[in-house]
Structure 1
Amino acid sequence: QPGDIVAVESPSFPGILQALEVVGLRALEIPTHTAEGLSLEGLELALEQWPVKACVVVCNHSNPMGARMSDERKQQLVLMLAVAGVPLIEDDIYGDLYHSGERPKPAKAFDHTGNVIYCSSVSKTISPGLRVGWMLPGRYMASARQHKYFSNLATSSIPQMAVAHFLEQGGYDRYLRFARQNYRQATERMRTAVARSFPEGTAISRPQGGFVLWVQLPAGVSGTLVYQLARAENINVAPGLMFSISNKFESCLRINCGNPWSDRIDHAVVRLGALAHEVQARSI
């Protein structure tokens, strides 16, 4: 209901924060680690102190950090929320884009009470223009059906049929093998380029999937100012402030690695690093 509190990762994808704001819900930010994901200790403390009504988590390759929770921590998350009677809304949109090994399990795999509302989509794998997604709402099926009916009645049939055909013919599996390799190489290449070009002391995430890097600049270096200077030169990155409702992550940037590597991107990273050095020099 409007005014209710929803626990979210911090940093969190801006689209999630905006979606909560539009329907009048309040986001409660829970600290998140670049490797381990959502802090379970932080969430436990929040559940004790606040009347949390739901929790939204991207367990596999979150945006912007690229974090992936271990199976053990996913189990703990599901159990903790089930005991508290708080539904877990799991966004598994990047789950298929793991860089190596086996496909990571969603938290839904450990749900024995129907308390996890699982959501995913082809918008980050096949094409965002298809606008095709799905959910497994567990014990909230009746409410989910009602909300879907009120929001837009139904999803267009033609895109759904196209996706179904792609899946049935094996095209999706073949494409994913190609995409995972490309994203892994692109992410590693971008990470190397950032480490080479940015000021000493810059911390860079090591995602196991997806195609984004979370970059924390040295103390005193404004990521927002770097973003503004870069934007003036048509270099597109996301400032850390976008991923919080409480003005956190001023010294951070999110860099998208999804585009094919080119000389243009290489030059842009070098220039971005030069801008970061310039901002650092101003702050001294």
Structure 2
Amino acid sequence: VVQFGAAVPDPSFLPVRTVERALARAARQHRNRAAAYAFPPGLPELRRQIARRMSAYGCATGADDVVITNGCQEALVLALRAVTRPGDVVAIESPTFYGLLQALDSLQLEALEIPTDPVDGLSLEALQLALERWPVRACIATPNFSNPLGYCMSESRKRRLLTLLGARGVPLIEDDIYGDLGFGPRRPPPCLALSEGTGAEVLYCASFSKTLSPGLRVGWLVPGRHQARVEYLKYVLNMASPTVPQLALADVLHSGGYERHLRTVRSDYARAVGRMIEAVTRHFPAGTRITQPAGGFVVWVELAPQVDSLRLAQLARAEGVSIAPGPIFSATQKYRNFMRLSCACPWHSDVETALARLGTLTANLSIG
């Protein structure tokens, strides 16, 4: 199957050998620690390295403020459990990552979709109206290179978002999983780094799944005043995150291997996104629209109004091509004529052929 559907980087975009060597060193040099639990908040050396990096992009975060999690998904779930109860309303971007929708559903939370622009991001005007009308208990956003739109919210709009939420006492759960994957020369600051003086409470979530290794399942949460609650919830949920991956990633960060990899992979992703945009423009019917993300490795494609992306996904799957149809990115099944494509795949003739075939299927559906 040619994989455009899952936002999972192909191993060719990951420092597989670097991680492999770090895992071997961790198991060899820390045999006793590797066999023990790393109870919440997690291994101190990894938390120190994470706090050091966060300080470099403006966050007043110390090692004691960080809780290690099993990926960013668990960080989001723990943050939600810390600030909401079943039945609460949570404001979300629309479209948004379908894994978040599943998390909200599992926690019996009500998703309130806020229109989101592929350039400016979350509509602050729509959010303000929603806050006036609904008892919103939390807001979740990915201001840096969101999935699936890929937008990067400007610093001025981030501050407006924080001020708006701070005035209403609504915490922001910030998903910054793609923050390190911008195509520009400077890493954009997360909302957490801009929150001082806005009155906003930010619970910051991130992971190394998109940059180093999805399989290691190492993420983190900076929960602020909810630290004790989050550590308790983490312990009850699964006691601890695996020890060896934490030791290995602390080593990669300390050695500078992570920064070296980022310098390479950011350019790789920028080229991959550019190739995808060019190929879609070439193979798909006239009128097809595609986002121009500023980072990350996914693109959001708008097809002709009469094209059903769920049907397109079925037809494509039968021909060995996987896509992510638009309705799965909405709690109310919007975006029927949209799809998300992952660009994090090695480019070869099979990929080009798959995109050409997708374009043909789309053209056929557009004429009935």
TM range (shorter): over 0.9
Q: How does 1:231-270 map to 2 (within 5 A)?
A: 231-270=317-356
Aligned-residue offset at 1:146: 1.9
Query: Do residues 80 (structure 1) and 164 (structure 2) align?
Result: yes
Cα-Cα RMSD: 1.0
Structure 2 CA distance for aligned equivalents of residues 182 and 199 of structure 1: 27
SS of structure 2 residue aligned to 1:213: strand
Structure 1 CA distance for aligned equivalents of residues 128 and 229 of structure 2: 27
Measured against aligned partners, the alpha-carbon deviations of 1:164-223 in whole angstroms (never above 9, x if no partner) come to 100011110111111111100000000000011111111100000000000000222222
Structure 1 CA distance for aligned equivalents of residues 352 and 183 of structure 2: 22
Q: For the Cα contact (< 8 Å) 2:165–2:200, is it kept in 1?
A: no
Q: For the Cα contact (< 8 Å) 1:7–1:27, is it kept in 2?
A: yes
Query: Do residues 168 (structure 1) and 254 (structure 2) align?
Result: yes
Aligned-residue offset at 1:144: 1.6
Match of 1:20 in 2: 104
Q: Which runs of 4+ in 1 moved over 3 A?
A: none
Q: How does 1:112-261 map to 2 (within 5 A)?
A: 112=196, 113=199, 115-261=201-347
Q: Which amino acid aligns with 2:250?
A: A
Report the TM-score when normalising by structure 1: 0.97
Structure 2 CA distance for aligned equivalents of residues 79 and 150 of structure 1: 34
Measured against aligned partners, the alpha-carbon deviations of 1:118-168 in whole angstroms (never above 9, x if no partner) come to 010001110111111111112222222222122112111110010010001
Q: Percent identity?
A: 50
SS of structure 1 residue aligned to 2:322: coil
Aligned length: 282
Structure 2 CA distance for aligned equivalents of residues 87 and 140 of structure 1: 11
Please, which of 257, 277, 282 is the counterpart of residue 363 of structure 2?
277
Q: For the Cα contact (< 8 Å) 1:200–1:218, is it kept in 2?
A: no
Structure 2 CA distance for aligned equivalents of residues 252 and 150 of structure 1: 39
Match of 1:63 in 2: 147
Aligned-residue offset at 1:23: 1.0
Query: Do residues 29 (structure 1) and 110 (structure 2) align?
Result: no
Q: Which runs of 5+ in 1 are unaligned?
A: none
Structure 1 CA distance for aligned equivalents of residues 192 and 220 of structure 2: 14
Q: Which amino acid aligns with 2:152?
A: R
Match of 2:30 in 1: none
SS of structure 2 residue aligned to 1:29: strand
Structure 1 CA distance for aligned equivalents of residues 290 and 360 of structure 2: 17
Report the TM-score when normalising by structure 2: 0.75
Query: Do residues 92 (structure 1) and 176 (structure 2) align?
Result: yes
Q: Which amino acid aligns with 2:256?
A: G
Structure 1 CA distance for aligned equivalents of residues 314 and 152 of structure 2: 30
SS of structure 1 residue aligned to 2:174: strand
Q: Which amino acid aligns with 1:118?
A: Y
